[in-house]
Structure 1
């Protein structure tokens, strides 16, 4: 590192690019992890077996709808189109807002986007989303659902605890 680069701040444009890359790369990693776990669940559980882990079972189910099977009676392409539009809006928000987000809200955006993309890609075959965490008292869900829920909570929490910038008065 040269003496000129020590202590030099990144330009605002470089910082904005980096914050956008963090959100997008984080989302891609989480979506890939979700899709890999869904493939593993299908490979291991496709014969109808279930694994009892106490309060939760690992059991293969498919959800043709969205959260809580809402819209399960709709054509798969309607669900795919609507979720695609929602993801496009979320992607736009995440990319345009990332530079002004805190680390907590960036993590939330990455988790929300990663979970949404993981379920979207899984849905593209028209068979529905692979779910495998089964409790008996709550709808069956998957890792992407955890990412979506935690990401939304982090986004809200990050925005609630972030103080607005002070004015010079």
Structure 2
């Protein structure tokens, strides 16, 4: 294997392995919330830990849709993120871009895994001014925001470093 081939292979492996490991941690957080939070509210600074089951796709929207739809749409989006990440891993994607895709994929995958058994997602982070959400949602949103911000910067040092590397 040439050095040029090893770079994309290593980046792809990193994307998949890290997203899988992070997904396991996120699902473990969901299991902990299921076991520790029923009937309780725990104050943690600006955030409360409280258990809520969200049958909707986002913010409770789509709760009346058939279960297969609420599973298929997020699963398709997750596959889309994975395919895009796979392709960008072979291209001159920088570390920040790949990191964003990894955390977005991990969050999306964890939410799909959470929804599989009963059609709902376990939410456990509450601010009082925003709908209750979970850690995978945070991974998706923060990853997408950083991705969008850095994608707009054509003079990004991360992008220049990736172009020099390949």
TM-score category of the 2 structures, normalised to the smaller one: 0.7 to 0.9
Does the 8 A contact of 2:71 with 2:119 survive in 1? no
| SS class of match (1:69) | coil
Q: CA RMSD in A?
A: 1.9
Corresponding residue for residue 21 of structure 2: 29
Structure 2 match to 1:131: 123
Q: 1:59 aligns with which of 30, 45, 50?
A: 50
Which one has the largest radius of gyration?
Answer: 1
After superposition, residues 60-75 of structure 1 pair within 5 angstroms as 60-75=51-66
- 1:153 alignment partner in structure 2: 145
Q: TM-score, normalised by structure 1?
A: 0.86
Question: 2:74–2:112: 8 Å Cα contact kept in structure 1?
Answer: yes
2:69 corresponds in structure 1 to 78
Cα deviation code 1:129-158 (max 9, x no counterpart): 010001221000111011001111122123
Shift of 1:54: 3.8
Deviations 1:31-71 (A, max 9, x none): 1111000000100112x111122422100001111221111
Q: Distance in 2 between matches of 1:30 and 1:74?
A: 29
Post-superposition Cα deviations, 1:100-156, rounded to whole Å, max 9, x if no partner, equal 210000000001000000000000012410100012210001110110011111221
**TM-score (ref. length: structure 2):** 0.87
Structure 1 counterpart of 2:111: 119
Q: Distance in 2 between matches of 1:25 and 1:161?
A: 28
Distance 1:67 1:162 in 2: 31
For 1:160 and 1:25, the matched residues in 2 are separated by 27
Unaligned residue ranges in structure 2 (runs of 5+)? none
